[in-house]
Amino acid sequence: MRSLLRLPGYLRHHWRSAVGAYVSLVVVTASNLVMPSLVRYAIDLGIGSGRVSLLLWIALGIVVVACVRAVFAFLQGYLSERASQGVAFDMRNALYDKIQRLSFSYHDRTQTGQLMTRATSDVETVRFFCGMGLLQLTNTVVMTLGTSAILFVTDWRLALLSLSITPPLLVIVVGFSRKVQPIFMGIQQELARLNTILQENLVGVRVVKAFAREPFERQRFGQQNLTLFGQNLRASRAFATVFPIINTLSGLGTLLILWYGGRQVASGQLSLGQLVAFNTYLLLLLMPLRMLGPLLGLATRASASAQRVFEILDTPLEIADAPHARPLPPIKGRVAFEQVSFAYFGGQKVLDGVSFVAEPGQVVALLGATGSGKTTIINLIPRFYDVTEGRVTIDGYDVRDVTLESLRRQIGIVLQESMLFGGTIRENIAFGVPGASLDDIIAVAKAAHAHDFIMSFPQGYDTPVGERGVTLSGGQRQRIAIARALLLDPRILILDDSTSSVDVETEYQIQQALRTLMKDRTSFVIAQRLSTVRHADLILVLDRGRVVARGTHQELIRESGIYAEIYDLQLRQGSQPAGEAGPSEARAPGPDQDRRGRQAPSQAPAPAC
Partner 1 sequence: MFHMRFSAYGDEHGRYDPRLLRRLLGYLRPFAGRITLGLLLVVISTVMSLLGPYLIKVAIDNHIASGDLAGLDRVLLLTLGTYLVGGACFGAQLYLMGWIGQRVLARLRDQIFDHVQRLSLSFFDRQEAGDTMSRLVNDVDTLNQLFSMGLSSLPLDLFTLVGIVAAMLLLNVRLALLSFTVLPFMVASTVIFARRARKAYRLTRQKIGAVSADLQESISSVRVVQSFARERVNQERFDQLNRENRDANVGAAAVASSFFPTVDVLSSIGTAIIVGVGGALALRGEMTVGIIFAFLSYLTRFFMPIRDLSQLYNSLLSAMAGSERIFQLLDTPPAIEDRPGAIALPRLEGRIEFRNVSFAYLPGEPVLHDINLRIEPGETLAIVGPTGAGKTTIASLVGRLYDVTEGAVLVDGHDVRDVQMASLRSQMGVVLQENFVFSGTVMDNIRYGRLDASDEEVIAAARLVNADSFIERLPEGYQTEVMERGANFSLGQRQLIAFARAVLADPRILILDEATSSVDTRTEQLIQRALARLLKGRTSIVIAHRLSTIRSADRVIVIDGGRIVEEGTHDELMARRGLYHDLYMRQYRAEAEEAESRGLAAGLDGTWAPRLAEC
Ligand X SMILES: Nc1ncnc2c1ncn2[C@@H]1O[C@H](COP(=O)(O)OP(=O)(O)OP(=O)(O)O)[C@@H](O)[C@H]1O
Please report, as residue ranges, which positions from 373 to 412 form the binding site for ligand X (by CB under 6 A). Answer: 373-376
The DSSP call for residue 47 is I
CB of 359 to partner 1, least distance (A): 20
Q: Work out whether 392 is an interface residue with partner 1 (CB under 8 A).
A: no
| SS3 assignment, position 473 | coil
Of these partners, Mg ion, ligand X, partner 1, none, which one is at the site of residue 188 (CB under 5 to 8 Å by kind)? none
Q: Work out whether 529 is an interface residue with partner 1 (CB under 8 A).
A: yes
71 membership: H or E segment, kind and range? helix 52-101
CB of 449 to Mg ion, least distance (A): 16
Please enumerate in sequence order all residues whose Cβ is within 8 A of that of 307, keeping only pairs 6 or more positions apart, or say none.
3, 185
- In the region spanning residues 348 to 377, those forming contacts with partner 1, defined by CB under 8 A, are 348, 367-372, 374-375
468: left (phi over 0), alpha (psi -120 to 50) or beta: left
Q: Work out whether 471 is an interface residue with ligand X (CB under 6 A).
A: yes
- In the region spanning residues 23 to 82, those forming contacts with partner 1, defined by CB under 8 A, are 35-36, 39, 42-43, 46-47, 50, 52, 55-56, 58-60, 62-63, 65-67, 69-71, 73-78, 81-82
The DSSP call for residue 492 is E
Of these partners, Mg ion, partner 1, ligand X, none, which one is at the site of residue 247 (CB under 5 to 8 Å by kind)? partner 1
Binding mask 89-128 for partner 1 (x = CB under 8 A): x--xx--xx-xxxx-x--xxxxxxx-xxx-xxx--x----
Choose one: 25-33, 209-217, 470-478, 562-570; the region binding Mg ion (CB under 5 A).
Answer: 470-478
* Helix axes of 214-266 and 272-313: crossing angle, nearest 10 degrees: 150
Q: Work out whether 422 is an interface residue with ligand X (CB under 6 A).
A: no
Cα 609 from Cα 600, distance rounded (Å)? 19
Q: Is 585 exposed, middle or buried (0-12, 13-18, 19+ CB in 10 A)?
A: middle
Cβ closest to ligand X, residue 289 vs residue 540? 540
Q: Which amino acid is at 59?
A: A
Cβ closest to partner 1, residue 30 vs residue 369? 369
The DSSP call for residue 131 is I
Cβ closest to ligand X, residue 27 vs residue 562? 562
The DSSP call for residue 3 is G
Of these partners, Mg ion, ligand X, partner 1, none, which one is at the site of residue 157 (CB under 5 to 8 Å by kind)? none
- In the region spanning residues 482 to 511, those forming contacts with ligand X, defined by CB under 6 A, are 501
Of these partners, ligand X, partner 1, Mg ion, none, which one is at the site of residue 226 (CB under 5 to 8 Å by kind)? partner 1
Q: Give the CA distances from residue 491 to residues 409, 422, 536, in Å, rounded to whole numbers and listed in that order.
A: 9, 28, 17
Q: Which amino acid is at 481?
A: A
Strand 363-368 and strand 522-526: the pairing is parallel
Binding test (CB under 8 A) with partner 1, winner from 26, 30, 85, 313: 85
Cβ closest to ligand X, residue 133 vs residue 545? 545
- In this structure, which long-range contacts are made by residues 166-172, counting pairs with CB atoms below 8 Å and at least 24 apart in sequence? 168/249, 169/246, 169/249, 169/250, 169/289, 169/292, 172/242, 172/245, 172/246, 172/249
Q: Work out whether 182 is an interface residue with Mg ion (CB under 5 A).
A: no
Task: Quote the strand ranges of 466-595, DSSP E.
Answer: 492-496, 522-526, 538-543, 546-551
317 membership: H or E segment, kind and range? none
551: left (phi over 0), alpha (psi -120 to 50) or beta: left
Binding mask 206-225 for partner 1 (x = CB under 8 A): xxxxxxxxxxxxx--xx--x
Q: Is 104 exposed, middle or buried (0-12, 13-18, 19+ CB in 10 A)?
A: middle
Q: Work out whether 85 is an interface residue with ligand X (CB under 6 A).
A: no
Choose one: 31-39, 69-77, 363-371, 387-395; the region binding ligand X (CB under 6 A).
Answer: 363-371
Q: Work out whether 245 is an interface residue with partner 1 (CB under 8 A).
A: yes
Question: What are residue 496's phi and psi, to 5 degrees?
Answer: -95, 100
Choose one: 133-141, 173-181, 256-264, 469-477; the region binding Mg ion (CB under 5 A).
Answer: 469-477
Binding test (CB under 5 A) with Mg ion, winner from 236, 473, 573, 593: 473
Q: Work out whether 541 is an interface residue with partner 1 (CB under 8 A).
A: no
| C-beta of residue 190 within 8 angstroms of C-beta of residue 174 | no
Q: Work out whether 330 is an interface residue with partner 1 (CB under 8 A).
A: no
Query: How many CB atoms are closer than 10 A to CB 419?
Result: 11
Q: Work out whether 475 is an interface residue with ligand X (CB under 6 A).
A: yes
Query: How many CB atoms are closer than 10 A to CB 434?
Result: 7
Closest CA to 543 of 367, 421, 410: 367
Q: Work out whether 470 is an interface residue with Mg ion (CB under 5 A).
A: no
Cβ closest to partner 1, residue 105 vs residue 338? 105
Q: Beta partners for 525?
A: 365, 495
Cβ closest to Mg ion, residue 222 vs residue 474? 474
End-to-end CA distance of the chain: 68
- In the region spanning residues 441 to 470, those forming contacts with ligand X, defined by CB under 6 A, are 470
CB of 105 to ligand X, least distance (A): 7
Q: Work out whether 453 is an interface residue with partner 1 (CB under 8 A).
A: yes
Binding mask 477-496 for partner 1 (x = CB under 8 A): -xx----x---x--------
Q: Work out whether 344 is an interface residue with ligand X (CB under 6 A).
A: yes
Cα 409 from Cα 416, distance rounded (Å)? 19
* Helix axes of 156-163 and 214-266: crossing angle, nearest 10 degrees: 150
Cβ closest to Mg ion, residue 21 vs residue 414? 414
Binding test (CB under 8 A) with partner 1, winner from 263, 327, 520, 578: 263
- In the region spanning residues 325 to 344, those forming contacts with Mg ion, defined by CB under 5 A, are none
Q: Work out whether 428 is an interface residue with ligand X (CB under 6 A).
A: no
Q: Work out whether 476 is an interface residue with partner 1 (CB under 8 A).
A: yes
Question: What are residue 304's phi and psi, to 5 degrees?
Answer: -60, -45
Q: Work out whether 13 is an interface residue with partner 1 (CB under 8 A).
A: no
Please enumerate in sequence order all residues whose Cβ is within 8 A of that of 315, keeping only pairs 6 or more positions apart, or say none.
98, 102, 106
Of these partners, Mg ion, partner 1, ligand X, none, which one is at the site of residue 261 (CB under 5 to 8 Å by kind)? partner 1
| SS3 assignment, position 338 | strand
Q: Work out whether 474 is an interface residue with Mg ion (CB under 5 A).
A: yes
Q: Work out whether 418 is an interface residue with ligand X (CB under 6 A).
A: no
Which residues lie near ligand X (CB under 6 A)? 108, 344, 347, 350, 368, 370-376, 416, 470-476, 501
Which residues lie near Mg ion (CB under 5 A)? 473-474
